[in-house]
Structure 1
Amino acid sequence: MTRRDWQWVEKWFRDAELDQRLGPLDGEWLEHVLSDREGVQLVVETVSGTPVALVGCAWDPAGSEHGITDFAVCPWTRRTGIGQRALKSALGWHGHPPTTRWVAFVDPDNHAAQAFFSATGWHPDGLDDGMYRFSVEPGCG
């Protein structure tokens, strides 16, 4: 993600569902993302360059478990299957340090996200600090 992406990111987060689940976003969040060196916010685009997903990744220095910190799909393409392709693309990005596992945490009331991770091959690991934990090995899911 770069500073120029902020315009469309801010527009996406005007969507009530996205804002409720992952927002609100502000300038402080943007500055953190742009300066973070222990992870990355990946912009997944169509072949024509249109953003379709924003995927936050936190890298484990030991390489045992990298995490998905946030996963936002363009609101007007939600539930079209683009999310599955976007997540696979983000996990397959060659800029990630090596890892043995990816994890994601989902709010207990976010049934759509729970169904999404289950449908894409992520293993439900139960509750962890009040959130549902999902995991997958690289190359799976």
Structure 2
Amino acid sequence: MTVRVRRAVAADADAAGAVFLACWHRSYADLLPPRVRARYDEASAAALWRRVLAAAPDGVLVAEVTGQGVRAVTRFGVDPDDARRGHVFSLYVHPDAQGLGLGRTLLRAAAEELRAADHATATLWVFAANHAARAFYAAQGWTPDGGTRVEEAYGEPEVRLRRNLSEGDDSTRRRP
């Protein structure tokens, strides 16, 4: 299996939408109520990612797997609550591709991009009940910083995680 991480382009909207939709409906089946998950179908998911890619093309990376196409996507940029910090807005790995290291690879690449943009720390939000994602992020050095929220659109509690991106932190460096 060969994995290629690259900056997303407009033509990736459908593939990113498909990864997002698979996560939304399968990975979040026990986390979000059906009425919330029903907001997105194939067309609306692709439209969402077309808007994302048009608005912030430099802040989206995809992971392609040879013979399978785009199997994971991450969106990152400046933390909307504090411009001194970076922020990972989303990380989606197709449920059929989980466990291949794609999430770890994309998260590391996003952290490197944020560090290169002079952010010493980064944040992200995760559903409080998403224990698998929280364990994944913890293994990558992301820890709760006390921030919590419930977005009206989802109605589920979230916790904010924070990560030190300093040069001395080798877990964000690419490994050979």
TM range (shorter): 0.7 to 0.9
**Structure 1 position 28, deviation (Å):** 4.2
Question: 1:7 and 2:14 equivalent?
Answer: yes
Gaps of 5+ in 1: none
Aligned counterpart in structure 2 of residue 51 of structure 1, from 70, 76, 95: 70
CA deviation string 1:82-131 (max 9, x = no partner): 32122112222389522121101111111111111111111221342242
Query: Does 1:34 find its partner at 2:43?
Result: no
Identity of aligned residues (%): 21
Pairs aligned (count): 141
Q: How does 1:55-70 map to 2 (within 5 A)?
A: 55-60=74-79, 63-70=83-90
Q: What is the letter of the counterpart of residue 62 of structure 2?
A: V
**Which one has the largest radius of gyration?**
2
Structure 2 residue matching 1:29: 3-state secondary structure: helix
Does 2:161 correspond to 1:134?
Answer: yes
Pick closer, same or farther for the CA change 1:53–1:137 going to 2, 3 Å. Answer: same
Q: Which moved more, 1:128-137 or 1:103-112?
A: 128-137
Structure in which a larger fraction of residues adopt helix: 2
Which of 117, 124, 137 is 1:97 aligned to?
117
Given that 2:17 and 2:46 are in contact with CA atoms closer than 8 Å, whether structure 1 keeps it comes out as no
What's the C-alpha RMSD, in Å, of the aligned pairs? 3.3
Deviation at 1:135, TM superposition (A): 0.7
Bigger relative contact order, structure 1 or 2, given CA contacts below 8 A and separation 6+?
2
Distance 1:31 1:45, change over 3 A: closer
Q: What is the correspondence of 1:92-131 to structure 2 with a 5 Å cutoff?
A: 92-93=112-113, 97-129=117-149, 130-131=157-158
Distance 1:83 1:63, change over 3 A: same
* In 1: Cα distance, 2:125 partner to 2:21 partner: 23
Bigger drift between 44-53 and 58-67 goes to: 44-53
1:73 maps to: 93
- Give the Cα–Cα distance (whole angstroms) in 2 for the partners of residues 37 and 5 of structure 1: 13
Partner residue in 2 for 1:88: 108
Question: Shift in Å at residue 4 of structure 1?
Answer: 1.1
Say if 1:63 and 1:98, in contact at 8 Å, map to a contact too. no
1:43, distance to aligned residue in structure 2 (A): 1.4
Please, which runs of 5 or more residues in structure 2 have no aligned partner? 1-7, 150-156, 172-176
CA distances 1:31-83 after superposition (whole Å, capped 9, x unpaired) = 42123249722213458894342111131487521111110113221123332
Paired with 1:43 and 1:108, the residues of 2 have a C-alpha distance of 25
Q: Which moved more, 1:81-90 or 1:31-40?
A: 31-40
